[in-house]
Amino acid sequence: MWKRRLIWALTVVLTAGLYFFDNHAGTLLLLLTSILLPLAGFLALLCPLSAGLTVQRAAGKGQLAVGRLSLKNGGILPSARVRLDIACRNLRTGQCVTETVKGWLPPRRCRETEFTLRCRHCGRIRLEITGVTVCDLFGLVKRRRACQAGAAFTVLPDLFEPEVVPESSAVSLPDSDTYSADRPGSDPGETFAVREYVPGDPLRTIHWKLSEKTDRLMVREFGQPVVNEVLLLLETAGKKDAAVQDAVTEVFASLSAALLTRGCAHQVGWQGEDGALCLQTLAQPEELGPMLEELLCLPPREDGSVARCFSAQSPHCGFAHVLVVASRVPAGLRELVSGNRVTLLLCGGGTEGLQPDGTYAVSFDAGDYERTLGRLEV
C-alpha cells in the first residue's frame, strides 16, 4: 500500500509542478482531480455497512456446503474493495479456519456473494464474520469496520453398521423393573409362572385362591429381576487431534444407531460444556437425529472424566453393559464396574483385552475402525 501512496504523492507533485509552470484551467483541473478524487474515495470508508450470512442446513463429510454472503453499502459512495474474513469453527473437533471473501460495493446497494466450504470432519460448524476491511478506489487507505453476522450448519457423520450381538445372559439386579422371561427368581412382586405343587416347594409360594378354585395345590413361581439395558458413554476429554475426535464421534453414533436398528433401547451420556452429566434414553430410531444434533455441538474438553462424573451421580450402576468410547483411558473407569460388564472402545490406544481392573478394552484406529469394530457383543 505504501507504493500506491508514493505514486499518488508523486502524481500530486508532478501535477502541481505542471500547474506552476503552465498556469491555466486545464492544469488546475488536473491538479484538483489528483487531490480531490482520492479524498472522495477516503469518504467512502465512512459509509455504513451491514452484512448477513446464510448457509445450507447440512452437508456430508467432504461435500461442498454452499453459503451466501450479503453485504449492504448504506452510503452514496462506492466502496471499491471489501475483504471479509469468515471464521469457520467446528464445535465438535475444536478446529477453526478462516475463509476470505473479496468484492466491491456499489452505493446504496446490497450485493450477494456465493461461497463454498468443504469440511473433512463431522460436527456443528459455526460461521462468524470476524473482520471487514474496506479499501478506497485507489488502494491508498484501508479501514477495519465492525460488521457482525453469523450462521451455522451441520456436517453429518458417516455412520457404519456394526453387528451388535446380544449377550447370552442378563445381569440380576434386585432393584430392576425388568424381569427375565427365561427363568424364575425370588422376587414376589412379579409372577414368572403358575404350576402344580411339587413336594419341596416352599409353602409361601402356594397360590391359595387359585388352589381353591382348581381343587389342586398350585404354586406361584416368582420373577427374576434383571437389567439388560446398555449404557453408552462418550469421553469428550482426550486427544485434540481432529481426526481422532471425528472417529470417536462416528463410532459412538454408529453404535447407538445399530442398537436402535435391533430394537434395543439404551441410554447415552457425556459431559456437557459445563461439566455436568447429560443422559438421554433412546428407544426409537427417530430419536437418533435430535441426539446427534446435541452430540455434534460437544466441544472437546481439556480435562474431566465421564466415568467419574457418572459414578458420582449414579453410584450403583444399573446397566448390564456399559460401553465407553474414548480417545484416552478415562480416569475412574473401574468405578463403573458394579457386577456388570464395562467395555472401553479406545481410539489410537494399544490397550487390548481384559484389564486388571475388571474392564475389557478394544482398540481401534481412527482410519480403520469399521473393520475393527465390525462385530461387538452387547
At 2-24, the pLDDT tens digits run: 787 788 788 888 888 887 888 78
Distance CA(82)–CA(221), nearest Å, equals 81
CB under 8 Å to 239, separation ≥6 — which residues?
245, 327, 328, 347, 348
Inter-residue contact 154 to 293 (CB < 8 Å): yes
- For residues 88-114, give the mean pLDDT: 86
pLDDT confidence of residue 88: 94
Q: What is the DSSP string of 75-138?
A: SSS-EEEEEEEEEEEETTT--EEEEEEEEEE-TT-EEEEEEEEE-SS-EEEEEEEEEEEEE-TT
Q: What is the DSSP string of 183-216?
A: S--SEEEEEEEEEE--TT--GGGB-HHHHHHHTS
Q: Which of 264, 174, 265 is nearest to 224 (CA)?
A: 174
pLDDT confidence of residue 339: 66
Q: Which of 38, 37, 44, 146 is nearest to 104 (CA)?
A: 44
pLDDT confidence of residue 182: 45
- For residues 274-280, give the mean pLDDT: 90
Distance CA(141)–CA(307), nearest Å, equals 57
Distance CA(193)–CA(212), nearest Å, equals 18
CB under 8 Å to 333, separation ≥6 — which residues?
307, 324, 342, 344, 357, 359
pLDDT confidence of residue 306: 92
Q: What is the pLDDT of residues 132-175, one digit of tens each?
A: 888 877 777 788 888 888 999 999 999 999 988 866 544 444 44
Distance CA(303)–CA(306), nearest Å, equals 10
Within the chain, what is the greatest distance between any pair of CA atoms?
136
Length of the chain (residues): 378
pLDDT confidence of residue 180: 44
Distance CA(344)–CA(281), nearest Å, equals 20
Q: Which domains does the chain have, with CATH numbers?
A: 49-156 (2.60.40.10), 163-168+227-377 (3.40.50.410), 185-223 (no CATH)
3-class DSSP assignment, residue 335: helix
HSE of 244 in the Cβ direction (CA atoms, 13 Å)? 18
% residues pLDDT > 70 (the chain): 88
Confidence category of residue 193, pLDDT binned at 50, 70, 90: confident
pLDDT confidence of residue 169: 45
Does residue 312 register a pLDDT over 80?
A: yes
Higher pLDDT, 188 or 211: 211
Q: Which three cell numbers stand for residue 142?
A: 484501508
- For residues 87-111, give the mean pLDDT: 87
In degrees and rounded to multiples of 5, residue 32 shows phi and psi of -65, -40
pLDDT confidence of residue 80: 62
Q: Which of 85, 90, 247, 236 is nearest to 154 (CA)?
A: 90
- β partners of residue 85: 100, 131
pLDDT confidence of residue 289: 93
Alpha carbon of residue 67 to chain centroid: 20
Q: Mean pLDDT, the chain, as a whole number? A: 84
